[in-house]
Structure 1
Amino acid sequence: MQLESPRLLIRDLQREDWMDVHAYASNPEVTKYMIWGPNSEADTKAYMEEQMAQQHAAERSHYEFGVVLKATNQFMGGCSIYPQGRNAEIGYCFHPDFYGNGYATEAAQALLRFGFETLHVHRIYATCRPDNIASANVMRRIGMKQEGHLREHLWGKGMYHDSYLFSILEHEYAYIRTPL
């Protein structure tokens, strides 16, 4: 499975990507807003094995992609889409070396396109921790609207966490869609 955008190749993870995934998944700066991490090598290897199995499942329940910069073939991070009936959840996570260049926005736009145009979902949503301003801004830039503030709804790292909830509907996407 592979998606493309102007600057990015968004593809199924490959077993040999594990060290690149581990480079960001083990980074405390990257994982401070995540419920998981920082990962040990064993955590990252287990995650990669789960994704390899998912890619070969008769019916995929989700898509976890690696994101590669086309110009240099550098592995930058990951993004995902989890369809659930006519809804889907998206997410993204990048190595800090690639922050601030619009890559998360471009990857998230490609996920919207895949979700609405290929998976034919009606609604795509995403969450972020309230302090993760950069992620909230990505969601706004791709046309998502903030639906709410979920208070202490997630348990992880020994505490409860709040989340902002954003979404975009199929007809809203059709209105703002720009060709890649």
Structure 2
Amino acid sequence: MIPLETQRLILRDFVESDWQAVHKYASDHEVVRYLTFGPNSEEDTKNFLQREISLQGEKPRQHFALAVTLKAQKPLIGICRISVKDTGNKTGSIGYCFNKQFWGQGYATEAIKAVVSYGFQELGLHRIFATCRPENIASAQVLPKIGMQQEGYLREHHQKINYPKLFVHL
């Protein structure tokens, strides 16, 4: 059930007032250098949030982009998402992005572990995967920590990004 809660975090649906906190990381070239978007303009970030908020009303809901906030002070520090990609085969994908001020503190691992658990327990998924560019070493180190295994490389998976690693949760 959304929101998800971990020891240090609350993962909740986005609201329009989150745009400035999202823009802080989405407009940072260092944060988005391995991603398929950005750096964002203010308009890009506002459009992203509007799209994500509109998807919250889907029936059945297939996409969960969640604001990651610290329990203590409640600042928004990043995003963690899970999307149902194939209902027949019960397959989903995950992704995450965090404000660089909060890198290296275990927040991504903690958040994505909660999202994967939600995918298996609440969404009834059978298989969950993630992709990651090979040079994104820090992000690639998170995925095995939550039980994912690298299966291979997806050549020309995205036009902007070639050769992302494919990780799956078994």
The structural deviation recorded for 1:59 is: 2.6
Matches within 5 A, 1:1-180: 1-84=2-85, 85=87, 86-156=90-160, 160-169=161-170
CA distance in 1, matches of 2:62, 2:115: 15
CA distance in 2, matches of 1:13, 1:52: 6
Q: Is the partner of 1:153 in helix, strand or coil?
A: coil
The structural deviation recorded for 1:115 is: 0.3
Q: CA RMSD in A?
A: 1.0
Query: Which is richer in strand?
Result: 1
What amino acid is the match of 2:114? A
CA distance in 2, matches of 1:152, 1:53: 30
TM value normalised by structure 2: 0.95
- Which stretch of the first structure deviates more once superposed, 99-108 or 144-153? 144-153
- Which stretch of the first structure deviates more once superposed, 73-82 or 52-61? 52-61
The structural deviation recorded for 1:35 is: 1.1
CA distance in 1, matches of 2:53, 2:169: 29
Q: Is the partner of 2:162 in helix, strand or coil?
A: strand
The structural deviation recorded for 1:61 is: 2.4
Contact (CA 8 Å) 1:88, 1:124: kept in 2 or not? yes
TM value normalised by structure 1: 0.89
What runs of 5+ residues in structure 2 fail to find an aligned partner?
Answer: none
What amino acid is the match of 2:107? Y
- % same residue: 47
Q: Is the partner of 1:151 in helix, strand or coil?
A: coil
